[in-house]
Amino acid sequence: MTVIPDSHRDLLERPLYAHLATIRPDGRPQVNPMWFSWDGEHLLFTNTTTRQKYKNVTSHPEVAISVNDPDQPYRYLEVRGVVERIDDDSDGIVFAALAERYGLPMDGPPGDVADRVVYRVTPVSTSSQ
């Protein structure tokens, strides 16, 4: 059972950018626009173990995202959740799937593929307009 409202599920199903907010180890927030996918239960993000975002989610797995509708800018979905798992993506499969979703198919893996991981976020609560 998901907490995502049916009225805003389309914002997760479309290739829109999610602003992923994390908490730095020093307690300050960090937010970046990121590619993502929705499997009906989890939000999936790809990143590398060499970036600040990885340090953030391993210190504080609580995250939030915001996605707005480009056709109706005041329509948005905020999802608060927890990074339940960090999976290996050193084969670049999830990265390639996201590149395809966002219209940038890859001819091969990205240069940082050896450090690639996937954050599997379980939604806990939402707000929307």
Task: Report yes or no on 49 lying in a domain.
Answer: yes
pLDDT band at residue 2 under the 50/70/90 scheme: confident
CATH of residue 29's domain is: 2.30.110.10
pLDDT band at residue 1 under the 50/70/90 scheme: low
Residue 84, domain extent: 6-128
Which residue, 4, 109, 103, is CA-closest to 46? 109
Give the model confidence (pLDDT) of 61-96 as tens digits.
Answer: 999 999 999 999 999 999 999 999 999 999 999 999
**Is 109:93 a contact under the CB 8 Å cutoff?**
no
pLDDT band at residue 9 under the 50/70/90 scheme: very high
- Numbers of helices and strands, H then E, in the chain: 3, 7
User: pTM of the full predicted structure?
Assistant: 0.92
If one counts the domains in the chain, the total is 1
Task: Report yes or no on 81 lying in a domain.
Answer: yes
Task: Report yes or no on 1 lying in a domain.
Answer: no
Task: Report yes or no on 71 lying in a domain.
Answer: yes
Cα–Cα distance measured from residue 67 to residue 78, given in angstroms and rounded to the nearest whole number:
7
Task: Report yes or no on 45 lying in a domain.
Answer: yes
